Amino acid sequence: MTDAAIPSVAAEADPPPYFTAHVFVCCNRRPDGHKRGSCAAAGSEALRDYMKARAKELGLKGVRINQAGCLDRCEFGPTLVIYPEGVWYAPKTREDVDAILTAHLQQGGRARHLMLTERDVVPKD
């Protein structure tokens, strides 16, 4: 990946977005003992399942929560990213998931204490 930003361009003829928010939860699993770890080994599958059920309970419309393969931020797992904003989070508990759903997807803000930022980079090999 390069440092150059890829512009986000919406053309007039583009259809409206199908979802207002798309949440990708990493559920990648590496072998036990792998030096980078894995989100699934850190509990991401259960958190994804909880997030899906809780979003439905909260009646969040236009929000899709999906399982993703490796998002390449394994050392911080479990991780998830919410688009279209591209905001990354590292939830560890159901309470963290609730905070993300409430702050980001209900209120349009951020759960800043759970965000991964530009300072959270994968260590070089």
Mean pLDDT of 96-118: 96
pTM: 0.86
Helix (H, G, I), strand (E, B) or coil at 109: coil
What is the reported pLDDT for 1?
A: 45
Handedness of CA 107, 110, 87, 24 (dihedral sign): negative
Mean pLDDT of 6-21: 81
Mean pLDDT of 21-50: 95
